Amino acid sequence: MSPVLAHWSANWPALIIYVLLAGTHLTGLRRLLAAAGAPADRRAMLREGLIFQGGLLLALLAIVSPFGYEARVFIWVRGLQDLTLAVLAPGLIVLGAPWAALARCAGQTPAAPPDGARAPWWLRWPTLTVVAFNVIWLAWHLPVLFDRVRAGGVVAAAQDALFLAAGTLFWLQMIGSRPWSPAARPLRRIKLLIGTVAADTVLGMVLVFGSAVIYPGFTNSAHHVMTVLDDQQLAGAVLWMGILPPVITLAVALFVRWLNDEESEALSAGLDRLLTQRDSAWPSRPRFR
């Protein structure tokens, strides 16, 4: 049987949560679209809705597809699964800005805050949020937890839930999600991204350059082409390099945003100096009477 058709997992909790979230979002989105007036607003809502649904589906496939099955066999596939659940899928979920649609389906119709509104209290500590994300990311790659997740069950479900939750909060702090804007300024967010890359680099280097098997639970008959150590080193490369494209892209965008803000502030200050009337430095000429 083709690997694409084999080893699909009937993970009922994941499937039920996906159906509930996707259905709730689509119902709320339909109501928002019915109330939207301008065609541009409808197109923006549809685009965000597709992005959110894509992120939700990507997270589901990482768990129930053969991809999820192979993650219990090969360490490098597990690394790719972790990246998907903690970085890629949450990033799409945040970009999809599903909050208004979810609230509308739940029957809540509060006055919509303007774009760029201040985030709620649980999103006002960017440093703490990013540190928590990195602690969760590194902790679940410790051998004692990494090998236990391979057995599935409650431990695996806890890891998946924490990755998705921490990743969503991380991206909310980094890019925001309509109607909320990040609490930190661009330069501070760049520093937090650098810290995240540094933490992931340490993990990747330990796996890539390590000469001992750190995850002995993955010793199985499937490693007849590559050894467990080779698999572990490849997983380190996946974790090390896999996080770089989205983070570097965001860092460049934030740097450009910071330069534009600095230029705007300098231009505004210059205009203020030109428009402000100043007293002459020369003494006034005496008047003759």
Tens digits of residue pLDDT in 80-121: 999 999 999 999 999 999 999 998 887 766 455 555 555 677
Mean pLDDT in residue range 190-215: 94
Is the pLDDT at 210 greater than 50? The verdict is yes
pTM, two decimals, is 0.85
pLDDT for 241 equals 94
Could you give the CA distance from residue 54 to residue 51 in angstroms, rounded to a whole number? Answer: 5
Say which residues have a Cβ less than 8 Å from residue 279's Cβ, sequence separation at least 6: none
Average pLDDT taken over every residue of the chain: 85
Please report the pLDDT score of residue 289 as a whole number: 45
pLDDT of residue 158: 94
* Contact between 117 and 179 (Cβ < 8 Å): yes
- Within a 10 A sphere around the Cβ of 24, how many other Cβ atoms? 17
Cα Rg of the chain (Å, integer) = 25
- Predicted confidence band of residue 180 (pLDDT cuts 50, 70, 90): confident
- Cβ(177)–Cβ(99) under 8 Å? yes
Asked if pLDDT for residue 281 goes beyond 60, the answer is: no
pLDDT at 286 over 70: no
Domain residues of the chain, as ranges? Answer: 12-107+121-272
According to the model, what pLDDT value does residue 269 have?
Answer: 55
Contact 214, 231 (CB under 8 A): no
Instruction: Say if residue 235's pLDDT is above 60.
Output: yes
Is pLDDT at 130 greater than 60 in this prediction? yes
C-alpha 244/C-alpha 250 separation (Å) is 10
Mean pLDDT on 65-77: 89
Place of tokens 């402000």: 276
pLDDT score at 288: 45
pLDDT value of position 5: 58
Question: Which pLDDT band, with edges at 50, 70 and 90, does 20 fall under?
Answer: very high
Per-residue pLDDT, 6? 67
pLDDT at 79 over 80: yes
Mind listing the pLDDT tens digit for each residue in 38-51?
A: 788 889 999 999 99
Contacting residues for 127 by C-beta, under 8 A, at least 6 apart: 184, 192
Q: Is 38 exposed, middle or buried (0-12, 13-18, 19+ CB in 10 A)?
A: exposed
**Percent of the chain whose predicted confidence (pLDDT) is above 90:** 56
pLDDT of 2 above 60: no
More confident residue, 150 or 23: 23
Type of residue found at 206: V
What pLDDT does 82 receive? 96
pLDDT, position 47: 94
Question: What average pLDDT score do residues 135-148 get?
Answer: 94
Higher-confidence residue: 46 or 180?
A: 46
Distances (CA, A) of 254 to 87, 89, 115, 193: 18, 21, 18, 10
Q: What is the pLDDT of residue 11?
A: 81
